[in-house]
Structure 1
Amino acid sequence: MPTTATLPDDWPALPDLSLALNRMGSFDWDLSTGLMHMDRTALEVFDLRPDEYDSRPESLTRRVPPAEAVRLDTLVTRALKSGSTSYGAYFRIRRRDGRLRWTHTQGRILRHDGDGDGDGRPHRIIGIVRDATPELSQSAERLGLDEERRRQTSVVEGTTAALAHARTVQDVIDALSDSHGMERLGSMGFIMGLVEAGRIHLVAEGPPGSFVPGTRYTRIDEEFPMSEVVRTLQPRFIDSREEFASRYPQLWSRIAWMDFSAAAYLPLIAQARPIGALGLLYQDKGRFSQEERNLLVALGSSIAQSLQRAMLLEQEHDLAEGLQQAMLPRRIPAVPGAEIAVRYRAARMGRDIGGDWYDVIPLPGGRVGTVIGDVQGHDTHAAAVMGQLRIVLRAYAAEGHSPATVMTRASVFLHELDTDRFATCTYVEADLSTGVLQIVRAGHIDPLLRDRHGDCRCLPVDGGMPLGLSAEFGRLEYPVTTVELDPGETLLLCTDGLVEQPGADLDDGVQVLTSLVRGGPGDLQKLADRLCEAGDEGGGDDDMALLLMRRRTTDAPQGGGRLQQHVAQNDPQALCSARHMIRAAARAWGAEERSDEIALVADELVTNALLHTDGPATVTIRVLTGPERRLRVDVEDRSSALPRRREAGETGLSGRGLMLVERLSDVWGVEPRGSGKCVWCEFAVA
């Protein structure tokens, strides 16, 4: 009879024993708390003692190289988001002795019941981890190579995409040095140098705190790795610390304290010439495989092309900005009675340059002209037109023409230039002894006025067409708006680059600027800086010009003042501005007690000129110095007919004008002026 074999007492083996004998450990990962339990065998697979693991997955990072950790995290995240119920992956760990070992993990994803009260979200992963060294051999290596090739392709694509938007050298450095850039490159840090006049200028210093004094500028013939790759145009791959020390002892003595195990230095070559060099430092890395070397050489070529493009854009922008700056005033003259601050900011994108400008023009009689303008377009042609327009406008103003005439002549000049550009502009003629401002606006945005208490408001100014267009369409009339600037008040002129924001209405930008001025610092220079900073923060890409003028009284010019206003037919606003100008000038020049009389007489003379002639009138008020200080009002018109006194009668509505002039003024008279005449009157001033 056959005999029955005796079975062992421990047969069949328990699952834990079976897993342990085959070097397979288990884990249970609670996704809600983030804690992961690992049994003793699983910890042995990771070459960890129980006291070295605190149930947190982060504790495993000392054993998993960064590149492997990124790949594994990506795999698990994709499985969680895609609704999968399981995943599996091969990856490498680094043992205590530094050697790499293949490992395999398999996980089962538990989710809340999506058909019941649950939402289908993952809440737990239960799986195994095992030593895969015996089974992998060449098949696993091929699998790893396939994954490595996919990773390399992703690295090239990701780095190229990140560099595509770089427009400056700093943009290139930022794209490589951020967390994603370091993750793509797989390095702990990088060093970058640019070739400048036979030297290498270090522009990126590697890991934080790793800068080596004395290496900011190095000669190309020195025995440094970056110098060598620039000289030979060949990359250098250093597989160990010992190799680095033997090949570059001079540099090694300064960086031996750094924690890296390998390094790669790449020449950055564009158009067959070296423009710089790139150094990459690695932790937990041995020899560079041929695939890794090919990948880094390809990345070096892509980085070099982006770097050269960024350098060319910076050079073009610097050239354009230099041209613009050369056409702006080199200095702003000191203006008695006023504090002035000016700012210009070039467009930030590429070689964009605009026609924005400002100017401050000393005028006869202690007056001053201030200009802000913007020529259409963003190119060197706009800057060239701006330079010519600025010069002629300055010349017309310095000749003593009225503000309206200055603007009219400038428009005719621009129209006659061989250009299709137009320009917006605001011109202000200021008499700082009186505070009277005569403002002419040609299609430009309105100025702002900040009072001495810090409040700010928009200053509505009547305007005409932009310069060039008004001459083309025959609409050369530019109304003059007269306002009074009190001591301590500030006038703000700017171009639309300061108020235009992407996707926002211009009026909204003006309101934002008004609030910034209202809440800005009292110091004029600091206020100008703050407004420019706010413009940069707003993300606008247009260039910008800014002019601030604050009236002071401590050193305001006294005496010898002269103001003029052109009053056209059927222009009641100009007549109102003339009245305002005369009344303000009389108060400021010491004739406050007679300001009403002077304003009434001047108004009568201007009204007579408009009623009894077919053309406009020009009213001028000025101070006559001598033994007796006097204010003189001149009203010029184009008619040669002399005024005559008439009896008005008891019910007459006219005929009393010259009676008022004779009664209220100290002396008056008529002078011929070419084909016209000038009616004048004078008032003694204490």
Structure 2
Amino acid sequence: MEHDPAGQCRCGQQPAGEPAGCFLALYGAALRTGRFDWDLDTGLMTMDATAHEVFDVRPEQYDNRPETLAFRVPTVEGHRLDQIVSHALKDGSETYGAYFRIRCHTGALRWTHTQGCIQRDETGRPRRIVGLVRDATRELGDSPAALRERADEEAERRRTTSLVQGTTAALAHARTVRDVIDVLRDTHGLAHLGASNLVMGLVEAGRIRLVAEGPAGSFVPGTRLTGVDEDYPMSEVVRTLAPRYIETADDFAESYPLLWPHIDELGITAAAYLPLIAQARPIGVLGLLYQDKTGFTEEERNVLVALGSSIAQSLQRAMFYEQEKDLAQGLQQAMLPRTIPGVPGAEIAVRYRSAALGRDIGGDWYDVIPLPGGHVGAVIGDVQGHDTHAAAVMGQLRIVLRAYAAEGHTPATVMARASTFLHELDTDRFATCLYADADLTTGVVQLVRAGHLDPLLQRTDGSCLRISVDGGLPLGLSAEFGRLDYPVTTLELDPGQTLLLCTDGLVEEPGADLDDGMRALAELAAVAPRDLQRLADRLCGIVDGRGGDDDAALLLLRRHTVDAPRSGGRLQQHVAPSDPEALAEARHMIRAAVRAWGAGERADEIELVADEVITNALMHTDGSAVVTLRVLTGTDRRLRVDVEDSSSALPRRRDAGESGVSGRGLLLVDRLADVWGVEARGGGKCVWCEFIVPAREERE
């Protein structure tokens, strides 16, 4: 306040050296009104006993420094009061007045009013403030300003409550860490708190990995991966497990000098870093950075703490989900075939789609099994349930089905044995399955169904129809009820036609009829691309589009004619043990056939190898042998000799020694045949040999 040469205060009659008299002249004595004297040069502010009572501080708690009162004045109130005083000091004002709230030792907020007179020197520089502080509770109790203030507080409380509830509700639907981040970035989410930037990090092996920052262009170099012991606010929060509120730009610059230059470029004036704690350990940190803001009210801090707790729970749930998903996907991939073998004479496409809900894992599977004699086995199945147990049962069942089929058992026997295996596995799960044994030479397909969906057949013109296949009980149930008879349905697959096998997840929708789903799938296949891989993608688009809580598997098998081995003739002879005449007839059949089929140049080799294999079968088994001779045409014209017996013991090479008579048979087979091998059959084995024999026109 300015003074005249006489030294009197312009706002009253008392001298400037008697501040109390000046205010008494203005206001007189007032109930619970205290006095203060603030020396701006030294920064010290003295208060009388009544002022101590107004601020609810004991004399020993106050050291004549205004900043000591900060624990009684909420941060936002203090910043607002500082702005009022600073503005008055800068614009030449002589007085100022303001209402503000203090927090008493009980935690309750109380309205307070202050009035000050500013004393300046002859240059206009402020040197001293003398004033009054008083309890304004009664004054503002029912005033319009107080009512507006309380209404604003209630509206703010409702807004923050709605923010917490809305964010918590949105986080309840977040399944992954990315979903949690998207909720936090949502313009209807935490941005309502006024935060201009967001950062979030996850704690991993003693380091903090930054997983989100925004908006674009706000990334701070060097913070992608930081140590917990480094001098960064996120690291400090992880170490202390306590929120870190940075209330001013100066606080930021002083506390984190390495980080501040980058933060200053973003125009940040305040920040709140919240530890994300789950099960008493830090799993991450959330940082909210603000522009044009200083300080945090108690209400804001409470909201941030509540949100931090909700975010931590959602984040932990998302991390658990992703861990389970990785485990489930790894288990599923391990149980399904890693690759589909190439099958001469056929084109195959397979697809698997996991459930959109749950653990993204189930018991659906497919398999393709190369079989002897130009056959191929196609399997599609579904174990009951959508969990890791279902996937584990599926893996075991797939392996035994493959083993039984590779042993050469008939399709009905394969199903019966698989059902018995599942029943003896002592699990409460059953499985549906469809097994197709396709002879690519003739196109004959034998189908066996265990409670599964019928297959579809796509003709060469693209039209698609459902094939009715007689079926038995699901695997596991048929063994439990003693009904292991599975009927076999036969169809002929012409070149260019496609067999379509799928699980119910591809066609079944809640509330819809399964037959309608099958018809819709057939209609879609009829208009889908003819390319087999694109056809598979189009059919699986049903699942991709609608999602659902069931996984789905698809297997397409299309017969070709280019590379398919085709029989150009077939002869068979049964040779009983200790029957020289039958053995002679077999030798005669082989000799006549190889000459008739134009293999004269290799006749001696073929006869010698066939005779050796037949003799070996008769000598080392107790049963008979079945000799089959046929010509296969395809990329090469081949003559094939099959010798089947009832022994499961595989032939092996032996060292005949210098004077040995036996032990040279397999050596001859290996040297003379172009290719040979041994295949397990249901009750024994088959030793086969193939010889490449050019057609007559090629020789000419």
Q: The TM-score by the shorter chain falls in which range?
A: 0.5 to 0.7
* Partner of residue 413 from structure 2, selected from 405, 413, 416: 405
RMSD: 3.8
- How far off its partner does 1:556 sit? 1.9
* Partner of residue 469 from structure 1, selected from 477, 485, 500: 477
- How far off its partner does 1:369 sit? 0.4
The answer (yes or no) to whether the contact 1:163–1:175 under 8 Å persists in 2 is yes
- How far off its partner does 1:267 sit? 1.0
Distance in 1, matches of 2:570 and 2:215, equals: 67
Query: Paired residue for 1:266?
Result: 274
Amino acid at match of 2:428: D
1:594-613 matches, cutoff 5 A: none
Q: Do structure 1's residue 322 and structure 2's residue 326 form an aligned pair?
A: no
- Worse-superposed segment, 308-317 or 453-462: 453-462
Distance in 2, matches of 1:491 and 1:269, equals: 54
Closer/same/farther in 2, CA of residues 553 and 273 from structure 1, 3 Å limit: same
- How far off its partner does 1:246 sit? 4.3
Closer/same/farther in 2, CA of residues 473 and 257 from structure 1, 3 Å limit: same
The answer (yes or no) to whether the contact 1:358–1:371 under 8 Å persists in 2 is yes
Query: Paired residue for 1:389?
Result: 397
Closer/same/farther in 2, CA of residues 298 and 531 from structure 1, 3 Å limit: same
- How far off its partner does 1:185 sit? 4.2
Closer/same/farther in 2, CA of residues 623 and 187 from structure 1, 3 Å limit: farther
Query: Paired residue for 1:419?
Result: 427
* Partner of residue 509 from structure 1, selected from 505, 512, 517: 517
- How far off its partner does 1:202 sit? 2.3
1:480-495 matches, cutoff 5 A: 480-495=488-503
Query: Paired residue for 1:70?
Result: none
Query: Paired residue for 2:209?
Result: 201
Distance in 1, matches of 2:456 and 2:526, equals: 10
The answer (yes or no) to whether the contact 1:560–1:623 under 8 Å persists in 2 is no
Closer/same/farther in 2, CA of residues 621 and 209 from structure 1, 3 Å limit: farther
Distance in 2, matches of 1:278 and 1:307, equals: 11
- How far off its partner does 1:225 sit? 2.6
Q: TM-score, normalised by structure 1?
A: 0.59
* Partner of residue 624 from structure 1, selected from 625, 630, 636: 630
Query: Paired residue for 2:654?
Result: none
Structure 1 residue matching 2:373: 3-state secondary structure: helix
Query: Paired residue for 1:21?
Result: none
Closer/same/farther in 2, CA of residues 220 and 532 from structure 1, 3 Å limit: farther
Distance in 2, matches of 1:268 and 1:629, equals: 71
Q: TM-score, normalised by structure 2?
A: 0.58
Query: Paired residue for 1:192?
Result: 200
Distance in 2, matches of 1:202 and 1:526, equals: 39
Structure 2 residue matching 1:430: 3-state secondary structure: strand
Closer/same/farther in 2, CA of residues 283 and 550 from structure 1, 3 Å limit: farther
Percentage identity across paired residues of the two chains: 70
Distance in 1, matches of 2:430 and 2:568, equals: 37
The answer (yes or no) to whether the contact 1:339–1:552 under 8 Å persists in 2 is yes
Closer/same/farther in 2, CA of residues 324 and 141 from structure 1, 3 Å limit: same
Closer/same/farther in 2, CA of residues 631 and 140 from structure 1, 3 Å limit: closer
- How far off its partner does 1:214 sit? 5.1
The answer (yes or no) to whether the contact 1:182–1:188 under 8 Å persists in 2 is no
Q: Do structure 1's residue 286 and structure 2's residue 327 form an aligned pair?
A: no
Query: Paired residue for 1:144?
Result: 152
The answer (yes or no) to whether the contact 1:365–1:562 under 8 Å persists in 2 is no
1:511-530 matches, cutoff 5 A: 511-530=519-538
- How far off its partner does 1:422 sit? 1.6
Distance in 2, matches of 1:560 and 1:405, equals: 30
1:55-454 matches, cutoff 5 A: 140-182=148-190, 184-212=192-220, 215-258=223-266, 260-351=268-359, 353-454=361-462
The answer (yes or no) to whether the contact 1:464–1:470 under 8 Å persists in 2 is yes
- How far off its partner does 1:445 sit? 0.9
Amino acid at match of 1:318: D
- Alignment deviations for residues 145-202 of structure 1 (CA, whole Å, 9 cap, x no partner): 3332232222222222222232322222233222322455443442222112222222
Distance in 1, matches of 2:355 and 2:495, equals: 35
- How far off its partner does 1:305 sit? 1.1
The answer (yes or no) to whether the contact 2:268–2:290 under 8 Å persists in 1 is yes
Query: Paired residue for 2:673?
Result: none
1:634-649 matches, cutoff 5 A: none
Distance in 1, matches of 2:535 and 2:444, equals: 24
The answer (yes or no) to whether the contact 2:185–2:191 under 8 Å persists in 1 is no
Distance in 1, matches of 2:155 and 2:638, equals: 96
Distance in 1, matches of 2:221 and 2:569, equals: 64
Amino acid at match of 1:624: R
Distance in 2, matches of 1:445 and 1:259, equals: 64
Query: Paired residue for 1:584?
Result: none
Structure 2 residue matching 1:358: 3-state secondary structure: strand
- How far off its partner does 1:377 sit? 1.9
Structure 2 residue matching 1:145: 3-state secondary structure: helix
Distance in 2, matches of 1:621 and 1:186, equals: 87
- How far off its partner does 1:463 sit? 2.0
The answer (yes or no) to whether the contact 2:163–2:189 under 8 Å persists in 1 is no
Distance in 2, matches of 1:293 and 1:622, equals: 87
Amino acid at match of 1:146: E
Closer/same/farther in 2, CA of residues 532 and 229 from structure 1, 3 Å limit: farther
Structure 2 residue matching 1:528: 3-state secondary structure: helix
The answer (yes or no) to whether the contact 2:570–2:630 under 8 Å persists in 1 is no
Distance in 2, matches of 1:531 and 1:262, equals: 54
Amino acid at match of 1:271: Q
Unaligned runs of 5+ in 2: 1-82, 89-97, 100-139, 572-596, 598-625, 642-682, 684-694
Distance in 2, matches of 1:562 and 1:236, equals: 86
- Alignment deviations for residues 466-489 of structure 1 (CA, whole Å, 9 cap, x no partner): 122223333333222222323333
Closer/same/farther in 2, CA of residues 370 and 282 from structure 1, 3 Å limit: same
Distance in 2, matches of 1:521 and 1:226, equals: 54
- How far off its partner does 1:555 sit? 2.3
- How far off its partner does 1:330 sit? 2.6
Structure 2 residue matching 1:179: 3-state secondary structure: coil
The answer (yes or no) to whether the contact 1:502–1:540 under 8 Å persists in 2 is no
Distance in 1, matches of 2:535 and 2:220, equals: 40
- How far off its partner does 1:357 sit? 1.4
Closer/same/farther in 2, CA of residues 432 and 209 from structure 1, 3 Å limit: farther
Query: Paired residue for 1:545?
Result: 553
Amino acid at match of 2:239: R
The answer (yes or no) to whether the contact 1:316–1:350 under 8 Å persists in 2 is no
Query: Paired residue for 1:37?
Result: none
Distance in 2, matches of 1:172 and 1:98, equals: 43
Closer/same/farther in 2, CA of residues 560 and 229 from structure 1, 3 Å limit: farther
Closer/same/farther in 2, CA of residues 528 and 244 from structure 1, 3 Å limit: farther
Amino acid at match of 1:458: R
Query: Paired residue for 1:557?
Result: 565
Distance in 2, matches of 1:98 and 1:496, equals: 75
- How far off its partner does 1:629 sit? 10
Distance in 2, matches of 1:330 and 1:631, equals: 31
Query: Paired residue for 1:124?
Result: none
- How far off its partner does 1:418 sit? 1.4
Distance in 2, matches of 1:257 and 1:422, equals: 64
The answer (yes or no) to whether the contact 2:381–2:434 under 8 Å persists in 1 is yes
- Alignment deviations for residues 634-666 of structure 1 (CA, whole Å, 9 cap, x no partner): xxxxxxxxxxxxxxxxxxxxxxxxxxxxxxxxx
Closer/same/farther in 2, CA of residues 560 and 362 from structure 1, 3 Å limit: farther
Distance in 1, matches of 2:342 and 2:197, equals: 52
Query: Paired residue for 1:572?
Result: none
